Amino acid sequence: MNLKPETVKGKRVLTTKSRVEQKNDELLEKRVVALEGGGEQAIQKQLAKGKLTARQRIELLLDPGTFTETKMFVRHHCRNFGLENKKYYTDGVITGFGQVNGKLVYVYSQDFTILGGSLGEAHAKKIVDLLDQAIQNGAPVIGFNDSGGARIQEGANSLAGYGDLFLRNVRASGIIPQISCIVGPSAGGAVYSPALTDFIVMTEDTSYMFVTGPAVVKAVTGEEATFEELGGASTHSVNSGIAHLVGSDELESIELIKVLLSYLPSNNLEDPPIKEITTTNTVGLQELNTIIPEDPQEPYDMREIILQVVDRGNFLELQKKWAQNIIIGFGRLNGYPVGVVANQPSILAGALDINASIKAARFIRFCDSFNIPIITFVDVPGFLPGLDQEHNGIIKHGAKLIYAYAEATVPKLTVITRKAYGGAYIVMGSKHLACDINFAWPSAEIAVMGAEGAVQILYRRELAKTEYPEELLEKLKTKYAEEFNNPYLAAEKGYIDDVILPSETRKKLINALWPLLRKRERRFNKKHGNMPL
């Protein structure tokens, strides 16, 4: 019998609760327990580290009142190593769906207060089921990773859980956008699910990723490193390129996710979201006419061109501190999302190397998967020479960039601002790789190589015979540059669609993009190509 106090004519009496009321109370009590995660003490410990709780992260990401939680009452079934006495609701991961700026998204958030957010069989199945739903319903998935890795007590079952998760990440690839937000540890097998997703956002000071931790590294190799040095946000944003975006804290990381989502369609069958233009780029466009230095060896910042050409305030650069000789990111042209790929003349003269090739190739393939047009800005003297580059496979990695451009069927527009030499000219969105519209500025130099190198090869005998080789060299360089290092020979052949004033670039790109949004390109049926990995 369950008794409850009630007031009848001013007197408190005990009445019996109905069976239905008892069941309702039981549900509410279980919900309270589930919402407490690992308990108040564990939550305070989490907050003391400067970290948010798993539920706070979801609340901050989603539009208020839109979150629907799934599988709240899931618990593990392990009875080994005392785990039968530690059975928490949610099993260390919160899953569900909601909206970000009105767009449906699926989200999971690992709860470090429950068994260190470790992944066991039930934990994995919740994420796997969420990914299956997201694929079925065509919506992005955002995962907050805060986990100690595989749950050792569950042995092979936890490893199987990772395998099932990896399989779903691969199945979802190219169908729905996948974003991983690293907000705590992500170690061992746990790193490979984020690595299989499209974008990784890390948080300074509180997040890190590595396959083996500092203790194991020291035991095996003798190398000593802190968690931050081995796999912190600074390491993965500068040295490895693993992190696409880095937030100074979790609040900024979550805001970066929202901005990123604003450029992306929900799935591969949709077009990217158009945004109404509130401010247009009109001031400063004339400055582009003089942005290219008189000295062809003098660097300049390609970002200044990008920011003038795309809609004002609409450029989200990715992997900004890694492979800085190439720039990638999302922008908008007249409200329409585009992917931007650009050589950066101020770093390594904009030459392509291994990391730049990998960085640009993967970004191009993402844009192609999700119907996002690609705009390429070219100022490239060639591939970076050197033993290190050759021995580490610049041939193979450079071929990835060729493959990505040639494979892409989305609208592709290219602007050559200055140098476009040799094989690098072909690679960087040339007409020969099926780019749709190719523009060149009057300062463009489209040739096998620069004037000095060409003259030294073509006129080596004359230079060897003359009494004043330096004077002759300068004369021949000037003549060669005037005749060959210009965009007009390529334009005569149809390799360049138009030579334009720099100040016309934004308008020309907008006009060229509009009809290409109707582009339909059919290829031979095949399972998939064999990209040079």
Distance between CA atoms of residues 222 and 226, nearest Å: 13
CB environment 409-445: b (16+ within 10 A), e (fewer): ebbbbbbbbbbbbbebbebbbbbebebbbbbbbebbb
Q: Render 71-133 in DSSP notation, one character per residue.
A: -TT------STTGGG---GGGGEEEEEEEETTEEEEEEEE-TTTGGG-B-HHHHHHHHHHHHH
CA-to-CA separations, 158 to 97, 155, 189, 191, 312, in angstroms, rounded = 24, 6, 10, 14, 48
- Residues 146, 184: contact at Cβ < 8 Å? yes
The residues with which 316 forms a beta bridge, in sequence order, are 330
Distance between CA atoms of residues 440 and 377, nearest Å: 10
Catalytic sites, residue numbers: 188-189, 423-424
3-state secondary structure (DSSP) of residue 412: strand
- Residues 296, 445: contact at Cβ < 8 Å? yes
Helical packing angle, 505-516 and 302-309, nearest 10°? 60
Most distant CA atoms of the chain, gap in Å:
122
**Owner of token pair 């299956």:** 132
Q: Which two tokens stand for residue 44?
A: 């305070």
Beta strands in 315-459 (DSSP E): 315-318, 326-333, 336-343, 374-380, 412-421, 437-440, 445-447
3-state secondary structure (DSSP) of residue 205: coil
> Burial level of 347, CB count in 10 A (0-12/13-18/19+)?
middle
Q: Which two tokens stand for residue 381?
A: 């003297």
